[in-house]
Amino acid sequence: MKISSTATIAKEKISDYLLKWQPDNDKSKFLELAGYRSKDWQRLVDDIRTQILPADAEIVRKTPYGDLFRIRNELIGPNGVTLRVVTVWMQEYVSGETKFITLFPDKET
C-alpha cells in the first residue's frame, strides 16, 4: 500500500520532537548525522514526502482509533549521508486522515 504524499505531517512532530533533543529516546542526534537541524525542519518534512512516502507501507496493527502502518526506507539527508529509517503512520477511522506518528532508526537492517 502507498500512503498519500498529502498525508499530514505536523510541524510540531518534526521541530519540537524529532529535531529537538529529548532526555528519553532522543532522535535529534541520529537525524543530525544526515544534516537535519531544527531551524530547517521543513527540509525533513519535504524529504519524508519525496523519499519515504513513495515506498510501500505495511500494516502493523489495528487500534481503536485507526490502522497503524510502517514504512522502512533510506533517507538521504542534506549533507548526503544516508540513514535507514522506519516511519509510522496512522490512518484514522473517524476522519479518514493519514497522519505521521514518528520516525526512528531502522535497526533490523
Domain annotation covers residue 68: yes
Predicted TM-score (pTM) of the model is: 0.94
Contact between 7 and 99 (Cβ < 8 Å):
yes
User: In DSSP terms, which residues pair with 84 in a beta bridge?
Assistant: 74
pLDDT band at 23 (very low <50, low <70, confident <90, very high): very high
3-state secondary structure at position 19: coil
Domain annotation covers residue 61: yes
Question: In terms of residue numbers, what domain contains 79?
Answer: 11-105
Q: What is the number of structural domains in the chain?
A: 1
Domain annotation covers residue 39: yes
Q: What is the pLDDT of residues 30-46, one digit of tens each?
A: 999 999 999 999 999 99
Contact between 88 and 105 (Cβ < 8 Å):
no
Domain annotation covers residue 25: yes
CATH of the domain at 88: 3.10.450
Q: What is the pLDDT of residues 94-108, one digit of tens each?
A: 999 999 999 999 998
Domain annotation covers residue 1: no
